[in-house]
A = this chain, B = another copy of it.
Amino acid sequence: MSKLVSDSWKIIQEGFSAEKNRFFESIMASGNGRMGLRGNHEEDYTGDTLKGTYIAGVYYPDKTRVGWWKIGYPEYFAKVLNAIDFIGIKVGINGENVDLATCCFTNYKRELDMKESILRRSFTFVGKDGSEYEIKTERFLSYADCDLAVIKYSVTGLSEEADVVFTPFLNGDVKNEDANYDEKFWEYVSGEAGKSVSFLTMKTLKTNFNVSAAFTWELTGSDALENEAISRNGGEFVGNRVRAKVRKNATVTLTKYISVISDRYYEADKISNIACHKAEEAKKAGYESLFEAHKAKWDKIWSMGDITIRGDIKAQQGIRFNIYQLNCTYSGDDPRLNIGPKGFTGEKYGGSTYWDTEAFCLYFYLGTREPQIARNLLEYRYDHLEKAKENSKKLGTQGALYPMVTMNGEECHNEWEITFEEIHRNCAITNAIKVYTEYTGDTSYLYQKGIDVLVETSRYWVSRVTFNSKKNIYMILGVTGPNEYENNVNNNWYTNRMVKWSLQYTADTLENMEKADKKLYQEAVDRLRLTEDEVDSFRKISQNMYLPEDKELGIFLQQDGYLDKEQTLVSDLKPEDLPLNQNWSWDRILRSCYIKQADVLQGLWFLNEEYPLDVKKRNFEFYEPRTVHESSLSPCVHAILAAEIGLEDKAYEFYLRTSRLDLDNYNNDTDDGLHITSMAGTWMSIVHGFGGMRIKNGELYLAPFIPECWEEYSFRLVFRGRIIKITVNKKETILLLEKGDPLEILLFTERILLK
């Protein structure tokens, strides 16, 4: 049996069981922003496993699979790829292969130390003759040099002397589990197995990404009695067969220094050399020195973004796990990269970018990292603006429609109700520009690049709305809102409201720009061939946008006709109905009133300042009881709003649903990988929910409360050059300016100067 142990800094697995292998592979995953690994074993494992080695930005355009082709469907669905297996070290002891699916072992323990970002594992291997050997491994993906991975594999004789054979290797013959067609993704380019350094270069078919992995190794505790360079399977497997002797109570250790280089950063014909060189340099530097540099980087991450919780060890472990994984997934130094829903922990959702990035992840990176990190998320969309314009053109509209799912700016999703109709995503992208600008106070992105995104998305809306001349209003027909349990509806309040806001924000920004920087303004006007009439039309549509509501109930209407549905509550459902998406046919879900994730309420979060508390309260009280939260992105928005309207217990309940979603395997799908993007929602639940944090007119605002079962919690905020630590306990809120110039902030209604 294997067990997950609570700990404030570590994810600890005690014992091993094959049926939980995928689960632990997921939660033992780690990454350094450029590459990531599931918690696969280094040595052979012939049991059930989801092999996962992922290189950021390296994908394959898997063929689209649809029932009936429709005009406008994308040609391909980008897939994050399982890449060269570089962690592999086969281990033989006295001729017996170490393979936890077949051999005898005891004392299995594994821990992911999140503070140091290192994965350690130990177990006692029991030979057929009863002799015992202690195996210890540790590995990390360097956060200091993100091309490097280091693995230490040691064997200690407990009862007998033994022959140990290590075979560190690289294997390019890898597959994806999740593929639409049985296509080959990789082809062999070159490789060489050397006595000291080996390398393997593979290329993706179609997309032609070249990836080279190289490794070198060292043995301590024994001489290498034999060392044979081996190359098999047409060169797709290269490695060394290294024989050593381990004496009783002595330890022999193989350290594998790996470098992984892709042609996203270097010229394709040089990557093999660079990989070999970097692996050799790493060996020269040595394990300890590499680990120190790595740790130092993680120390910095934690010093900016840690959250502590006293009195609830599970909550503490949960929130750190979320913060850890978000930093493993996205380090923010390359605007071509983004955040897939599963990060580097699985294949699902293709590793592509969704609106999750802007609607959730952005807040986390803004609050916990230097502004450039969040800004790179905005640059990503700016760089895709031309593709978003092409996408809009393909659908017969003007301006820019960003894709629902993308790797390089091209749409990958292939359900018409999502691809063509879940168009509110444009607004999450424009809202992100506002959020970044408000948060940082930096208008440079807004005025230099953001304005192009604002104008082009506004142009899209102008061509996408329907003017109802009878009622003299603008409508938006045929959309899918954030609640994907409704398809092809008319006048989704959230979409209409966000479009109204977005058009106004564009017009206001242009007005502000003209005042603030005439030159930039004129450049933008020229570049975008913007006319006054056009800006007038933005305002006119914004002012005359139809917003469905029910005056009697005092609520906004999720969409036209929502109240015609049978009005039952989630509490009326039978347990066997849930989750609806696994038990009800799609039409039944669609015609029910049940809501997948925050929709009207998502709007009340984004436009939080524009609505008074009673409006939020009435809408929350109407919609929440109809919401099944079958998206991992749902609870956090509800936690924030519940906290705001004073439903503290409810807020805590929603927080619980997200913070240990993967660790406690709530949705029974952790095997597939982790819910990376919703982890940002967990962070938001604490900071914006419990902490009540907002930016109000450019000022930091806090309104904290503490959940009953906690003694104390603290979080840091990186805000306009400062690091501020907020500690909340039963008695008080302590504000500490850890870095930066004095700052005035608002605590509830009180104005406080932090020094």
Decide: A561 and B561 in contact? CB cutoff 8 A: yes
B395 touches A566 (CB 8 A): no
Flag whether A585 is at the interface (Cβ < 8 A).
yes
Q: What sequence of 0s and 1s flags, for each residue 565-593 of chain A, a beta carbon within 8 Å of any chain B beta carbon?
A: 11000000000000001111111101100
Cβ of A608 to closest chain B Cβ, rounded Å: 30
Partner of A415, one of B67, B475, B583: B67
Complex Cα distance, B584 from A70, in Å, reads 9
Q: Please name all residues of chain B whose beta carbon is closer than 8 Å to the beta carbon of A82 when the two chains form the complex.
A: none
- Assembled-state Cα–Cα distance A566/B467 (Å): 7
Known: A488-B488, A488-B590, A561-B490. A71 touches B420 (CB 8 A): no
- Across the interface, do B396 and A584 meet the contact criterion of CB distance under 8 Å? yes
Interface size grouping (class) on chain A: 35 or more
A379: interface (CB < 8 Å): no
CB pair B588 A466 closer than 8 Å: no
Tell me whether A603 is interfacial, beta carbon within 8 Å.
no
Query: Please, which residues of chain B bring their CB within 8 A of the CB of A67?
Result: 64-67, 414-415
**A window 247-274: CB within 8 A of B:** none
Q: Is A68 an interface residue (CB 8 A)?
A: yes
**Residue-wise interface mask of A (686-711) relative to B, using a CB-CB cutoff of 8 A (1 in contact, 0 not):** 00000000000000000000000000
How many Å lie between the Cα of A420 and that of B421 in the bound state?
Answer: 20
Contacts of A64 in B (CB 8 A): 67
Across the interface, do B564 and A468 meet the contact criterion of CB distance under 8 Å? yes
Q: Is A14's beta carbon under 8 Å from chain B?
A: no
Q: Is A487 positioned at the interface, with any CB of B under 8 Å from its CB?
A: yes
Q: How far is the CA of A466 from the CA of B562 in the complex (A)?
A: 12
* Chain B minimum-CB-distance residue to A468: B564
Among the interface residues A66, A420, A584, A591, which one has the most CB atoms of the partner chain B within 10 A? A591
- Complex partner residue of A585 from B72, B414, B415, B585, CB under 8 angstroms: B72
B-contact 0/1 string along A54-93, CB 8 Å cutoff: 0000000000111110111000000000000000000000
Given contacts A65-B66, A478-B587, A583-B71, contact A466 B420 (CB under 8 A): no
CA distance A66 to B180 in the complex (A): 10
Q: Is A113 an interface residue (CB 8 A)?
A: no
Q: Do the beta carbons of A585 and B396 come within 8 Å of each other?
A: yes
- Chain B residue nearest in CB terms to A67: B414
Question: What B residues does A70 contact at CB under 8 A?
Answer: 585-586
Check: A739 CB closer than 8 A to any chain B CB. Answer: no
Given the contacts A477-B565, A488-B487, A587 and B466 also touching, CB distance less than 8 Å: no
Q: Please, which residues of chain B bring their CB within 8 A of the CB of A590?
A: 478, 488
Shortest A493–chain B CB gap in Å is 15
Tell me if A416 counts as interface (CB < 8 A to partner B): yes
A676 CB to nearest chain B CB (Å): 20
For this complex, 5 residue pairs linking A to B, each with C-beta atoms less than 8 Å apart, are A71-B582, A395-B585, A395-B588, A397-B588, A560-B561
Interface residues of chain A, those whose CB is within 8 Å of chain B, are 64-68, 70-72, 394-397, 414-417, 420-421, 466-468, 470, 475, 477-478, 487-490, 560-561, 563-566, 581-588, 590-591
